[in-house]
Structures are given as structure tokens and as C-alpha cells.
Amino acid sequence: MLQRIADNRPARRKAGEISGIVLVPTRELAMQVAEAVHKYGKTLGASVLPLYGGAPMHQQIRALQRGVDVVVGTPGRVLDHIRRETLKLEGLQILVLDEADEMLDMGFSDDLDAIFAALPEARQTALFSATMPPRILQITKRHQKDPARVTIESEKPAKGDAPRVRQVAYVVTRAHKPAALARIIDMEDPVATLVFCRTRLEVESLVETFNAHGQRAEALHGGMEQRQRDKVMNLFRSQKADVLIATDVAARGLDITHITHVVNYDVPASARSTCIASAGPVAPAAPARRSRWSRRASTAGSSRSNAPARPRSRSRRFRPWRTCGPSSST
């Protein structure tokens, strides 16, 4: 994308005119992708601007008027700029939909349709999705011409090698879930833990519980202002917080290499939700002093026992958690 834009950059650009758009489901992912575009496009002279809700609109408009090559944004805010005519699409060359399945799950279908309706016919469209359900295939049929489909199979460890991700489920009663989760974390001694909850109320409640027990926990959910979310992420990235408890706002786009344990506090709404890639590149194996093998645990349902059983093995060869399941792009 960046090479094509650099090779076809217009000599004079109108205010607000761009060459590429990358649509992503969350603000966190928009910032992460924008950082990557800036890094890879620096030698090509490509400029990038992230657009997402919660940031001042007037600052984004001024940046667009100064001129950028690529916009990375959430569908809602990108559509706002299109309707305000502060985002000019006449010279658009490439559109990228990243995490397309997640955008549909988050209710951006109407926004995507409105954006597609405003785009020029002559463009390239790329779509990346962790899964390819019928509604994603419908998008490819409506908005792509003779697309090439590239599928990345899930990693299969060689015979005799330990898998890079270990998944374990503990079944406990709802009343005992906070205690069970605290017990699991005490037992595993993780470097950093990411816990997914369904509701903001549950997130805040768990944060209070962990902080009362001496763990440094931080909350992350859609009801927080952007500056609050940035502060929380900086604390977690700098390892000043041990546990990040979040709703699915944090499910995509987190680039955190030191996460070792990821927990679904509730049973995920779909099977795909158990295989969300939320961490950054896999880091090297940890020192022998501390076990940093990875686990994705789900605490839900009911059981006669309120205490999780101790794992039968504690291999130190596992690497920090990154992803599970296939990924595909069209």
C-alpha cells in the first residue's frame, strides 16, 4: 500500500485529500496501525493520521487540511469526516478493512455501507478477517472484483514440541468466580494478566477486588475517556500494573509483548471469541527463574468445588500468549 501511494502521489494535493484509508474497529487498534504505517512509510515520505472518536474533531480537521497520505480510523469517525466533507476521497487509491469480522460484530455494518457508497469506483480494496462467515463473504462479493484469497493456517507444533498457547477451562459457581480467579493468578504467578469481562460493572467490581488484595489492577472499557484509556495502557505497558481487566474494547489491537496469561472471566459469546489475538509479537522464552508459559482460562458455569485444581505440569518452554486459530485475508 505505502509503495503504491508513494509511486502515485499527486504533485499537488487538495486540503483533506487522501490516498489510502485503513478502517479498524477500535481506537487502540487505530493508534497501533498508525504507528506501524508511520514507521514503515518514513523512508517513503508517507504521512499518516489516526481518526477515532473521543479525540477533538478540530485537531483532526487541521491535520487533514495540512495534508496526509493515509488515514487510519474507526468507521464512525471516518464517516463523520466524510459527511463534513473534511475528508476528500476523489484521489483514494486503496481501502483496507482490518479486523472486518470484529467491525461487523460491533455494529459498524451501516457505517461501512455508507463509507463504501462514498468511495470512488477506481480503487483497490483489501480485507483482513480472523474468520470468513457468510456476511464477510457478502462484502467481498459486493465491493471487491476478482479478489485473491490468502489463508494463513493455524500453527501446528512439531511432534514432541510444546504448543505456544495452552488453554485451560475452570468451571466454578458464579459466587466463587472472583476467588477462583485470584487463586489461579496466585498459583500461576504471571508476569502480566489480561482479563476479559462482559460488562463495565463487572470490570469495575473485579478491579476493586484485586486492588483490595494487593494486586495493581486497572480497568479498560468503552465508558472511559480516551486520555484515561491511554493512561491505563501506559501503566500496563510499563509494567506498573499487574492485571488489566477489560471489556471487549480491548479485544483487538493491543501490542503488549509481556502478557503471559489471558482470562475469559465469562463464557465467550462465540467460539471465535476464545481465539482473539490481543497481544503483540511473541517474545523470547523467559528466564528459568520464572515460568512465563501462557494460558487462556475461562471461569464460568457451575461446579461442586469452588477451588481450581492445580495443573499437572508447569513447563517453562511456553512463550507469552499471542494468538490461536486461523487468520485469513482477501
> Which of 122, 148, 174 is a domain's end point?
148
**Is residue 330 domain-resident?**
no
Residues 123, 222 within the same domain: no
Q: Which of 229, 261, 264 is nearest to 32 (CA)?
A: 229
Which CATH number characterizes residue 282's domain? Answer: 3.40.50.300
143 half-sphere exposure, CB direction, 13 A CA radius: 25
Taking CA atoms, 296 is separated from 77, 170, 173, in Å, by 33, 10, 19
Asked if the structure places residue 157 within a domain, the reply is no
Domain boundary among 148, 183, 203: 148
> Is residue 158 in a domain?
no
The total number of structural domains in the chain stands at 2
Q: What is the pTM of this model?
A: 0.65
Same domain, yes or no: 240 and 320 = yes
pLDDT by residue (tens digit) across 211-234?
988 889 999 987 888 788 889 989
Per-chain mean pLDDT for the chain: 79
Residue-range definition of the domain harbouring residue 277: 166-325
Is the pLDDT assigned to residue 59 strictly greater than 80? Answer: yes
What b-and-e string marks burial along 152-177, b requiring 16 or more CB atoms within 10 Å of the CB? eeeeeeeeeeebbbbbeebebeeebb
Sign, CA dihedral 121-126-128-133, equals: positive
Residues 121 and 215 in one domain: no
Asked if 181 and 269 sit in the same domain, the reply is yes
User: Within this chain, do residues 179 and 290 fall inside the same structural domain, yes or no?
Assistant: yes
Q: Are residues 71 and 30 in the same domain?
A: yes
List pLDDT tens digits, range 290-302: 333 333 444 443 3
In tens, the pLDDT along 232-286 reads: 989 999 999 999 999 876 656 677 888 999 999 987 665 555 444 444 333 322 2
Q: Does 192 share its domain with 266?
A: yes
Distance from C-alpha of 296 to C-alpha of 260, rounded to nearest angstrom: 9
